[in-house]
Amino acid sequence: MAIVIAVANQKGGVGKTTTAVNLAAGLAIWLQHEARSPNRVLLIDTDPQTHALMAIAFGRHLAAPDGSLAALLIEDPPPSVQRMIRRAEHHHNLHFIPNNTQAMTDARMRIPSLMARETRLARAIEPILDLYAYVIIDTPPTLDDLMINALVSATHVLIPVEPSYLGLSGLKELQAAIGQVRRHLKRQDLQILGYLPTRCVTQRSEVQEILDYLNESFPGQMLSPIHETTDLIYAHSAHMDVFTYRPPRSRQDGRLASASRATQEYSRLVEEVVKRTLRPVKV
């Protein structure tokens, strides 16, 4: 069964999409060098804006409403997810479910009135979980049914946090939502994979103070930070993950060496995620 990671924080612009895309691509690259089966990664973008899909398959990321993620969420029974899946541009073992912005916007309005509204994504993707090592779910910046569907589908939640005073707001509500999903929707196993400081600007005086506060508040749960770098902005506007935009120079002892800080930091995230989620090899 796949390890399913929801990248979530209802605060906008904290690096959810950047993290979902680069974690998915980084895991796909890591799996290409491992004798593991399955060795594929699936990226699901529950944000109607489809920015995550644009980064991995620009031009092929959209589909007609009935062949899109929106149909999986609102139709009863859901259409076949296997038939929808497409391959990303730069990594043969990275797959995605195309979406349709208008249909997804409509779906978001309709879901609250549908039966089993919180479990619709989980039910739709259940048939393919054995085909993937990892499923990464990007979520929109709202604590609504789309986010709850992502949490219910997940085994782990990865929480990007911007280290600013405003960046900490909303964490309590997110933790409460995760608690409610565990209790009321019977997902006791849902784990917080970690808090990921993103968009860190070391020169800003409050950053270290906030990182210290986060380390004290969430001992053992902090992941190594991602700094603010132009590579991540340029990669996204070039519709690429950072490993494609600034490829690692070499790969030694399972570690990627790169001149780009962004590539290095996202490869370290991949290592940390693998370490925290790894299951015994099934060849």
Ligand X SMILES: Nc1ncnc2c1ncn2[C@@H]1O[C@H](COP(=O)(O)OP(=O)(O)OP(=O)(O)O)[C@@H](O)[C@H]1O
List interacting residues with ligand X (CB under 6 A).
12-18, 47, 51, 141, 198-199, 226, 228-229, 232-233, 236
Q: Which two tokens stand for residue 34?
A: 């491992």
User: Residue 19: helix, strand or coil by DSSP?
Assistant: helix
**From the list ligand X, Mg ion, none, which binds 13 (C-beta under 5 to 8 Å, kind-based)?**
ligand X
Residue closest to Mg ion (Cβ): 17
**In angstroms, rounded to a whole number, what is the distance separating the alpha carbons of residues 96 and 283?**
24
Shortest separation between residue 100's beta carbon and ligand X, angstroms: 18
CA distances from 60 to 86, 135, 196 (A): 9, 19, 30
Question: Which of 210, 209, 202, 152 is CA-nearest to residue 181?
Answer: 152
Q: By the 8 A CB rule, do 153 and 189 touch? A: no
Indicate the residue among 98 and 141 with the shorter CB distance to ligand X: 141
Q: By the 8 A CB rule, do 274 and 133 touch? A: no
**From the list Mg ion, ligand X, none, which binds 229 (C-beta under 5 to 8 Å, kind-based)?**
ligand X
End-to-end CA separation in angstroms for the chain: 14
**From the list Mg ion, ligand X, none, which binds 178 (C-beta under 5 to 8 Å, kind-based)?**
none
Per CB under 5 A, the segment of 13-21, 74-82, 154-162, 226-234 that binds Mg ion is 13-21
**From the list Mg ion, ligand X, none, which binds 226 (C-beta under 5 to 8 Å, kind-based)?**
ligand X
Shortest separation between residue 9's beta carbon and ligand X, angstroms: 7
Q: By the 8 A CB rule, do 201 and 247 touch? A: no
* Region of 157 on the Ramachandran plot (φ > 0 left; ψ -120 to 50 alpha; else beta): beta
Could you say whether residue 17 binds Mg ion (CB under 5 A)? yes
**From the list ligand X, Mg ion, none, which binds 198 (C-beta under 5 to 8 Å, kind-based)?**
ligand X
Which of 7, 11, 16, 246 touches Mg ion by CB under 5 A?
16
Residues that bind Mg ion (CB under 5 A): 16-17
